[in-house]
Amino acid sequence: DAGVIQSPRHEVTEMGQEVTLRCKPISGHNSLFWYRQTMMRGLELLIYFNNNVPIDDSGMPEDRFSAKMPNASFSTLKIQPSEPRDSAVYFCASSSPGLEGTGELFFGEGSRLTVL
C-alpha cells in the first residue's frame, strides 16, 4: 500500500481564498483523522471520522473549517475563507482499530498551508 496520500503538499494562498486539502487513507482503514501542526499549538486533532461518519469535530476551530468523507477512500478539509492564522501543516492520518481498541495512526506527509 502507498500509505496515506495527501494533496497538495504545499499550498500558498491569499487571505480570503478557499482552500481544499485532500486525503486518501490506507485501504481497509476505517478511522480517519485530520490534525493541524503549528509550533505554538503542537499537534491538534481537528476532526475524527469512523466508517465515514464524523464522530468528533470538537477540535474544528470555527465555522470557516469543514470536513467531509463521502466514501471510505477520500476525505477533504476545507477552509473558507482562509486567514493568515490558518497557516500550518495539516496532517491526515488513518487507522484500523483492533479488538484491543485504538490502533496505530499512519500519517500522510502533510499539506503545508501558507496564507498570506
Partner 1 sequence: GENVEQHPSTLSVQEGDSAVIKCTYSDSASNYFPWYKQELGKRPQLIIDIRSNVGEKKDQRIAVTLNKTAKHFSLHITETQPEDSAVYFCAASDYKLSFGAGTTVTVRA
Which chain residues interact with partner 1 by CB under 8 A? 33, 42-43, 45, 48, 55-56, 58, 91, 100-102, 104-105, 107-110
Residue 52 beta carbon to partner 1: minimum distance, rounded to whole angstroms: 16
Residue 105 beta carbon to partner 1: minimum distance, rounded to whole angstroms: 6
Q: Say how far apart CA 63 and CA 3 lie, in whole Å.
A: 30
Nearer to partner 1, 96 or 109 (CB): 109
Q: Say how far apart CA 9 and CA 62 lie, in whole Å.
A: 23
Residue 2 beta carbon to partner 1: minimum distance, rounded to whole angstroms: 13
Nearer to partner 1, 15 or 43 (CB): 43
65-79 in b/e form (b: 16+ CB < 10 A) is bebebeebeebebeb
Give bridge partners of residue 106 from the DSSP assignment.
94
